[in-house]
Amino acid sequence: MYAEKIENLKKEKDFVILAHYYVDGEVQKVADYVGDSFYLSKVATQVSAKNILFAGVQFMGESAKLLNPSKHVYMADDTADCPMAHMVTLEQIAEVREKYDDVAVVCYVNSTAEIKSASDVCVTSSNAVKVVKNIKNKRIYFIPDNNLGHYVAEQVPEKEFIFCDGFCHVHKSIDKALVEAAKKLNPDALVLTHPECTADVLEISDFIGSTSEILDYATESDCKKFIICTEMGIFFQLGESNPDKKFFSVGHRQFCPNMKKVSIEKVISVMENPENEVILSDDIMEKSCIPLQKMLELAK
């Protein structure tokens, strides 16, 4: 019933729907493109529809607008915001730049457009290692995610890192004891983990990657059982692509309340009466798209 209504609205109002793996499966089902942050930012540069409906959190809609400014980008819910995006300030960046004139400010896309405007290059969890390796500067200020920053630093030992203390509360709350308990129940399962998790969880994991990479790994693996250390929305695509495999969570905390604000009813409502449009000032548009474009270039 919903699906037909949404297909008609897409045609009638010239909409394309982009959804992150963490939104409800029901919403993923009606989306034209579903993926991780990197995939969705690449898609945003290519869509031909006049209007983009973003089923995700604020920074994702902002990135789509920055990468394709002629489009109207609407959030399914404009209060869906990533707390980590606000865990670094312009003052902190200015302080580090003042102290080190050779620093490159590397900004995880989970950040506000304003923070991107003061950064040199953006990264996502699937391209961070590659992008950082490709930056000329030896000194890196990695903002805002401390866990992802440390993970990247381990893979790129030739660089010197300055870290920030931002974190994702969803991934941080997946603690080692929960993973060990899940492993005890299913000793033959592989542990697949997002790099926003803490270092002690990464240490006991069999694979570390972005949401898309976790999905690809599970799909290509001969193993039939997996313990999944990331937000639970990914279970929908894992199940769709792998009906013969079993996926286990590590506890009730794998839930991003902001991603779960996006509902099918809100998607329909915004398409019927477009609201929650992403509007950015000309100054921010001009400055913040530079690090995003640079990411696309360095991640090639």
Closest CA to 64 of 55, 56, 73: 73
Determine contact, residues 174/147, Cβ cutoff 8 Å: no
How much of the chain is in helix, strand and coil states, percent to nearest 5? 45, 20, 35
292 binds ligand 13P (CB under 6 A): no
Task: Assess 170 for contact with ligand SF4 (CB under 6 A).
Answer: yes
Q: Does 82 bind ligand 13P (CB under 6 A)?
A: yes
Residues 223-282 that bind ligand 13P (CB under 6 A): none
CB of 22 to ligand SF4, least distance (A): 6
Q: Which of 112, 258, 276, 288 binds ligand SF4 (CB under 6 A)?
A: 258
- Residues 96 to 125: which contact ligand 13P by CB under 6 A? 110, 124-125
Q: Is 165 helix (H, G, I), strand (E, B) or coil?
A: coil
Interacting residues with ligand SF4 between 23 and 62 (CB under 6 A): 57
Residues 179-208 that bind ligand 13P (CB under 6 A): 196
CB of 168 to ligand 13P, least distance (A): 6
Place of tokens 């400014």: 69
DSSP E strand stretches across 22-181: 33-35, 51-55, 72-75, 103-108, 121-123, 139-143, 160-163
Residue 284: CB atoms within 10 A of its CB come to 18
Q: Which of 28, 51, 63, 110 binds ligand SF4 (CB under 6 A)?
A: 110
198 binds, options ligand SF4, ligand 13P, none, Cβ within 5 to 8 A by partner type: none
Q: Which of 227, 259, 262, 271 touches ligand SF4 (CB under 6 A)?
A: 259
144 contacts 55 by C-beta, under 8 angstroms? no
CB-based contact 132:153 (threshold 8 Å): no
> Which one of ligand 13P, ligand SF4, none is in contact with 258 (Cβ closer than 5 to 8 A by kind)?
ligand SF4
Residues forming beta bridges with residue 51, ordered by sequence position = 15, 72
Applying CB under 6 A, which residues contact ligand 13P?
A: 36-38, 82, 110, 124-126, 168, 196, 210-211
Binding stretches for ligand SF4 (CB under 6 A)? 22, 57, 82-84, 110, 168-170, 231, 256, 258-259
